Structure 1
């Protein structure tokens, strides 16, 4: 579990209104220096039995708890430095490279094969039944459609593998997502693929069609639909009829309220009326594991354990985490990681106003934003004079 520690300054106050709460640039720089592992269709297993990735939330949560106990979140400080961390990655198995001209997809169910007017990418992309299937597809219960009938697929957060389907069936694909822990969205599409591995002697082999259901641990959207295919020797792989769907639910965090969906906005908490700050710090998770609010809850709880122990030693009152806001942070549309901002007390959706920040020419946005409050102790805002 990779994470980064807080170095952010306090939010500024101008004319009684807070400026957007500054992102933790030092933590972001650390995350970007060790980016999320990326995967393409050509680098994952192709056997349906082992193509999907297994996510173990118990192990990931335990890793967060261990990390906080030895390397807690620091109080906001412009001079603080993060201690070196153990780097862990959520890895996807690699596909063994096939020799040229060896069969690639014999064991898969196939979609309609397009060899007219030619066996080429243009004929494939123009094949109307692919578009009809995508345009006529019914959105599965519990999901929202994020895009329809694109000639590209997503490169979203938390890659979880794919399965070849016998038909273009978003409902069946949604059930695969529902039954795989950590899955938050899926993309279904037609892919032009070679029947044998391209290479010497088979530079541009005959094509066939796979109907792929790709699962993701974060949301698919138009912005991250960037995969238009690839050229393998002289064979052109393309996608079409691509639909994306995002689940309306996420896993609850034990001991916390039901998730409050904030869409593409983050909490922008002002200073309290007595001048104190409820903001405690941030964790960024970018191992490549699925988006999981329970990781933030583990960080919040473990930080409380650490702060309580330290307060007993110093005979002071500990600062306790009672609320967190988590989302996927994007830099120019590419995922930086799962961002977890921790607070001493609860803020409602009226404070979810932080959507866009620039750093130089780089554009930072948020998606899949949720807020959680401690179910039994939401914290007490300071009582100040009405003035």
Structure 2
């Protein structure tokens, strides 16, 4: 069962009089961004070294989150003296705290073993430098990005090809090594497709110590496998899975780590792939691709169907089904309280918002009027502190009968 923590802004669903929304364009919900980043701050952002025992496997239960989102909207009383022409509700920030399902290890052993590995050995010489410079790793990574080899439904992440660092993102879900027998991007894509919330993956080679404790899968000096600097290595091929689309700035992990006394763990051939289209959502038409732009409703936006915006914690995957549930709940709320002129939510724009190109936050904007691609004009903005806010992976979803393509 997924554990959740929902953080609501002040004056949740209460309306603010004399809102600037009556006078200006539809700005991005940048005021809630830092809160969303903080909400996912304690989440793991990259896979562990080696094969961790026990292995932590994250799970995403959309239904459990939907229930909390719906309750937060429908059960919230309106502000006093609220009029149907008042401004839209303030932003709601939802933080998903995913549970961990622990895969138990075998009973503790008291000896060292040679680990199971699935990658080619680089033994002449067996050094970190030889590993990161091995031409075979680069060749495999580059070959995987050729059009014929890219998994169906995925795209290569620009500038995230054949690197020596890994992806880091708070939407990290889990990883696999044991399910791979080679540098197999199509196998990784198939696993991503069956993993709840998965949107992208990072495949790479990892240099790890060959001799490890059977119980813990890491070096143990007391058992005679200390992990010295000159210890023999093994190669793991891994795929790490993420709930948000990886981008070039996601490649920011340390270039190396140490295990045991002084064994240097390094990486090679690190390449990322992300889904090339937005997921479909039950009960909604679309998605229509808006690319790197969000909808910018005409001003004053309150009179042109804009209802509200919503941001999610950085550990929440790109999951438009959450927005669909929130959209439906907003319709119920508006009808019950005559909020936003009683408008039904008929369209939402799901996208990712970045601050200075980093830490993407899943965001949704809701509307009582459907808008097509010709209104996707908000490619970002700059605040008074000099921060640059940009958009990516923007898609539109429509209730049947409200579909607009232009």
In the superposition, the TM-score normalised over structure 2's length comes to 0.77
Q: Distance in 2 between matches of 1:65 and 1:140?
A: 36
- SS class of match (2:32): helix
- 1:148 CA drift (Å): 2.2
Is 2:102 the partner of 1:112?
Answer: no
2:59–2:99 contact (8 Å) kept in structure 1: no
Q: Distance in 1 between matches of 2:113 and 2:357?
A: 33
- 1:113 CA drift (Å): 1.9
Of 324, 333, 345, the residue aligned with 2:348 is: 324
- 1:28 CA drift (Å): 2.1
Q: Distance in 1 between matches of 2:207 and 2:86?
A: 53
Is 2:39 the partner of 1:39?
Answer: no
List structure 1 segments (4+ residues) > 6 angstroms apart after TM superposition: 72-83, 94-97
**In structure 2, do the counterparts of structure 1 residues 366 and 95 end up closer, same or farther at CA, with 3 Å as the change threshold?**
farther
- 1:189 CA drift (Å): 0.9
Structure 1 stretches lacking a partner, 5+ long? 380-387
* Aligned twin of 1:371: 396
1:51–1:162 contact (8 Å) kept in structure 2: no
Q: Distance in 2 between matches of 1:76 and 1:228?
A: 52
- 1:86 CA drift (Å): 8.6
What aligned pairs does 1:208-357 form with structure 2 within 5 A after superposition?
208-232=234-258, 234-271=262-299, 276-286=303-313, 288-311=315-338, 317-357=341-381
* Aligned twin of 1:385: none
Is 2:196 the partner of 1:162?
Answer: no
**In structure 2, do the counterparts of structure 1 residues 292 and 111 end up closer, same or farther at CA, with 3 Å as the change threshold?**
same
- 1:45 CA drift (Å): 6.9
Is 2:179 the partner of 1:173?
Answer: no
- SS class of match (1:139): coil
Q: Distance in 2 between matches of 1:81 and 1:90?
A: 25
User: Which moved further from structure 2: 343-352 or 1-10?
Assistant: 1-10
- 1:252 CA drift (Å): 1.7
Structure 2 stretches lacking a partner, 5+ long? 213-217
Of 148, 154, 158, the residue aligned with 2:161 is: 148
- 1:299 CA drift (Å): 0.6
Q: Distance in 1 between matches of 2:174 and 2:85?
A: 38
- 1:167 CA drift (Å): 0.5
Q: Distance in 1 between matches of 2:349 and 2:201?
A: 24
- SS class of match (1:149): coil
Q: Distance in 2 between matches of 1:115 and 1:76?
A: 72
Q: How many positions carry a matched residue from both structures? A: 363
* Aligned twin of 1:383: none
Is 2:98 the partner of 1:90?
Answer: yes
Deviations 1:251-288 (A, max 9, x none): 32222111011122111111269x82421111111162
Is 2:75 the partner of 1:70?
Answer: yes
* Aligned twin of 2:129: 122
- 1:4 CA drift (Å): 4.8
Q: Distance in 1 between matches of 2:175 and 2:99?
A: 15
- SS class of match (2:377): strand
- SS class of match (1:129): helix
Is 2:205 the partner of 1:190?
Answer: yes
- SS class of match (1:354): coil
**In structure 2, do the counterparts of structure 1 residues 258 and 76 end up closer, same or farther at CA, with 3 Å as the change threshold?**
same
2:331–2:344 contact (8 Å) kept in structure 1: yes
Deviations 1:323-351 (A, max 9, x none): 11111222233325211111111111111
2:209–2:227 contact (8 Å) kept in structure 1: no
Is 2:139 the partner of 1:132?
Answer: yes
In the superposition, the TM-score normalised over structure 1's length comes to 0.81
